[in-house]
Amino acid sequence: MSPNNRVREGQVFLISAPSGSGKTTLGKELISSLPDLQLSVSYTTRKPRTGEREGVNYFFLTKEEFGKKRVEGELIEWAEVFGHYYGTSYQRLNRYLQQGKDVLLLIDVQGALQIKEKIPRVVSIFVLPPSWEALKQRLEERGTDTAEEIQRRLEIARREVDYWSHYDYIVINETLTEAVERLRSIIIAECSRQGKMKEVIQRIIDDFRPREG
């Protein structure tokens, strides 16, 4: 394959947010509205929730299976969250990028910092709820956690929000529609950067040059 026909390398977008801030819902909306964006499906040791499917929401593993992948170096990032392990496959992520696919990672702060160390050109976005009280209300309304679990998530959220300055962009999820549109704008703008489109641009420029004969 000649340089002018080479597929551009994909871009990694990662989104982090305190639990209950709408990260998963925002991710679903982005994937459905941006067909060229590929969701990175993580490994987890927690049990599937109602409606979750293997390979769609997560790859569900035992702690032993997860530990083996970690020891063998298959995970580009991993973290323990609320007593369960989560991680991202390096091989799968790298394959998407080499195919020229832009990849969306929905991961917590621990995993995001690991990714940023290993992939310096990653575009990172932190989603904030409009207030602490709004986050508390959303956690209570989704009805998946006990009062003790909600309190624990809120306490962890207090610590997580302090990492906002480590991210390239901040999006406040006050309304779903507005937050999705802001995220879409970030992704579309980043994909249009000159450096990201260098090979595509060069192919077009070459087409404008006079042809011999």
Q: What is the pLDDT along the chain (213 residues), one digit of tens a residue?
A: 334 445 567 899 999 998 888 899 999 999 999 988 999 999 999 999 888 999 999 999 999 999 999 999 999 999 998 889 999 999 999 999 989 899 999 999 999 999 999 988 899 999 999 999 999 999 998 877 889 989 998 999 999 999 999 999 999 999 999 999 999 999 999 987 766 667 777 787 787 888 775
- Using DSSP's 3-state secondary structure scheme, residue 209 falls into coil
CATH architecture for the domain at 3-40+101-208: 3-Layer(aba) Sandwich (3.40)
Could you give phi then psi for residue 164, rounded to 5 degrees?
A: -55, -35
Per the CB < 8 A criterion, the answer to whether 38 and 96 are in contact is yes
Instruction: Give the largest CA-CA distance in the chain.
Output: 78
Q: What is the model's pTM?
A: 0.85
Across-strand partners of 38?
103
Residue in 165, 39, 163, 175 with CA at minimum distance from that of residue 101: 39
List, edge to edge, every strand of the sheet that includes 84-89.
59-60, 43-44, 84-89, 75-81
